[in-house]
Structure 1
Amino acid sequence: MASENYLLSDEDMRHFITRGYVQVHTDFEDNLHQKIYDQVEHILETEGNPGNNILPRIPNIQKVFDHPKVVGTLTSLLGENYVIHPHRYCHLRDPGSGDQGWHKDDYIFDQNVRHHRFRWVMAFYYPQDVTADMGATA
């Protein structure tokens, strides 16, 4: 169970409902994100895109999803005993390569997407600073 200290506040929940996202900032040592970034860059440069194998290749990413603030946020949104989907594709977009294009993600395990309460959230992890002009999957 997530610690009560890390569950989203009413204000955070309102932000998520009205804006569709919430940012979670972790308090790891300064170099963890840099280590993850360097490992990702090395894999992309030497082997290409690892596809859905990014988490097994870089286990430190799991530390981010296990952080109490992340667990508290996901618990607030999805309830206890949520499951993390195995799709962890590493999207590589080179500078100047253009947009990915509009598409609908597949709900492979739940084709009925009309529920009174959402059942899925997408968690994006950025080990580096990003700006709005870089796009959502920077």
Structure 2
Amino acid sequence: FNDVFSPVVKHSSIRVLLALVAMYDLELEQLDVKTAFLHGELEEQIYIEQPHRFEVDGKEDHVCLLKKSLYGLKQSPRQWYKRFDSFMLGHGYTRSMYDSCVYFWKLNDGSFVYLLFYVDDMIIATK
């Protein structure tokens, strides 16, 4: 693996969103995605020792093939970002050309949603 960089929202994007919230009296929410890094899909094969107390009798020297990202893997934040980005784009959001962690969705009734993404935390503003 070579790609371990995971983008985060720019500070200037956060400041702009907070200014928009104040100017237009938008609703603002913050949330944290629990166990976010466990949802990333691995792009390479990674083997780990059998977890303590879960060893298979007679096969203690065998290893396990990891099928999902884990906390502590260098590529976990990147894989989580890729999965989240794919989900957002697949559900109609538009990614900002200026900041890859800013998403926008305008609904047919004229309302809209701004979502800023920082690792496993989000700020959402809507009208």
Q: How high is the TM-score relative to the length of structure 1?
A: 0.25
Q: Which has the higher helix share?
A: 1
Q: Which has the higher strand share?
A: 2
Q: How high is the TM-score relative to the length of structure 2?
A: 0.27
